[in-house]
Amino acid sequence: MGADTLTVLSTDSQGASDSDTVSITVATGNVAPINSVPGAQSAVENTSLAISSISVADGNGDLASTQLSVSHGTLTVTLSGGATISSGTNGSGTLTISGSQAAINTTLASLVYQGNVGYVGADTLTVLSTDSQGASDSDTVSITVATGNVAPINSVPGTKRCRNTSLAISSISVADGNGDLASTQLSVSHGTLTVTLMAVRPSAVAPTAAVR
Ligand SMILES: [Ca+2]
Ligand SMILES: [Ca+2]
């Protein structure tokens, strides 16, 4: 690529001649944009996740837009450098960022994903970049949305009565919705508590407690 010159030299049988030149400019051929995307992402239910490492480059500098879309959440960017949302809506499941390559990349660096309310499972972020001549590159980023934390819930019986005798209280249990129960503390003010330690199921503790 670059400049070239075509020279035309015509000569007759007596040596008279004419020479002319034609300037030729060889332009760069179009190349498609190339996305750079991160590996699989892990999100938590009802919690936003910044995904800042997406960028795009076009070898001949004519990037036009980058479309982002997910199926089970919303995408939000902060527009900068003159970038605009040319299609879709900021804060929705799909949006297209248009502008210069620098503006698109600065805007992409601000991307935040959040799964739909209560959504737990797999999602896919699709990144589709297109240049002014219609060449494009499409990549995907896997997102796994895990269950958010929920507090343990105790189950306890109603009022218990006893007098100078031990009392078995066998109907206390506890459950944690996302299975990360760590401990259960039991206490009384005017007696003692005794439990028999045993193999414990992850979601339920059923001690034998006695108040004396
Ligand atoms: Ca191009
Ligand atoms: Ca929990």
Strand 41-44 relative to strand 136-146, pairing:
parallel
In a domain, 183, yes or no: yes
- Measured in Å, residue 168 CA sits from the centre of ligand 2 at 28
Say if 4 falls within a structural domain: no
Do both 75 and 135 map to the same domain?
yes
Class of residue 77 by CB neighbours under 10 A (exposed 0-12, middle 13-18, buried 19+)? buried
Domain boundary among 146, 162, 187: 146
Q: How far is the centre of ligand 1, averaged over its atoms, from the C-alpha of 61 (Å)?
A: 6
Q: How far apart are CA 69 and CA 128, in angstroms?
A: 9
Is 9 a domain residue? Answer: no
Of the candidates 100, 92, 147, the residue with the CA atom closest to the CA atom of residue 119: 147
Tell me how many domains the chain contains: 2
CATH value at residue 91:
2.60.40.10
Q: Strands 73-76 and 84-88: what pairing?
A: unpaired
39, 133: one domain = yes
Domain contains 89 = yes
Q: Average pLDDT of 88-100?
A: 98
Q: How many CB atoms lie within 10 A of CB 48?
A: 13
- 138 and 155 within one domain: no
Query: Does pLDDT of 204 surpass 80?
Result: no
Distance in angstroms (rounded) separating the CA atoms of residues 135 and 59: 11
Q: Is the domain of 53 the same as that of 117?
A: yes
Domain assignment present for 21: no
Q: Is residue 80 part of a domain?
A: yes
- Burial of 141 from C-beta contacts in 10 A (0-12 / 13-18 / 19+): buried
177 to 54, 151, 157, 161, 202: CA distances (angstroms)? 34, 7, 20, 32, 11
77 vs 66: CA distance, rounded Å: 12
How high is the pLDDT of residue 201?
60
Same domain, 40 and 140: yes
pLDDT for the residue 150:
86
What are the residues whose beta carbon lies below 5 Å from ligand 2 (ion)?
A: 149, 176, 178, 180
Verify that 121 and 199 share a domain, yes or no.
no
27 in a structural domain: no
Residue 139, strand partner residues: 127
Ligand 1: centre distance to CA 41 (Å): 29
pLDDT digits (tens, 9 = 90+) for 16-38: 999 999 999 987 789 999 999 99
What is the per-residue DSSP string for 23-60? EEEEPPPP--EEEE--S-EEEETT--EE----EEEETT
Domain co-membership, 97 together with 162: no
Last residue of a domain, one of 115, 146, 177: 146
112 and 172 co-located in one domain: no
- pLDDT single digits (tens) 105-118: 999 999 999 999 99
CA distance 41 to 50: 10
Instruction: Identify whether residues 46 and 62 lie together within a single domain.
Output: yes
Do 42 and 95 reside in the same domain of the chain? yes
pTM of the model: 0.68
> Final residue of a domain: which of 146, 163, 180?
146
Ligand nearest to the CA of 153: 2
Domain housing 161: 149-212
37-85 pLDDT, tens digit per residue, is 999 999 999 999 999 999 999 999 999 999 999 999 999 999 999 999 9
Q: Could you give the CA distance from residue 49 to residue 2 in angstroms, rounded to a whole number?
A: 46
13 within some domain: no
Residue pair 51/112 in contact by the 8 Å Cβ criterion = yes
108 and 121, same structural domain?
Answer: yes
Q: How far is the CA of 33 from the centre of ligand 1 (A)?
A: 6
- Better pLDDT: 165 or 76: 76
| 208 and 126 both lie in a single domain | no
Closest ligand relative to 133 C-alpha: 1
Ligand 1: centre distance to CA 86 (Å):
19
| Ligand 1 center from residue 40 Cα (angstroms) | 27
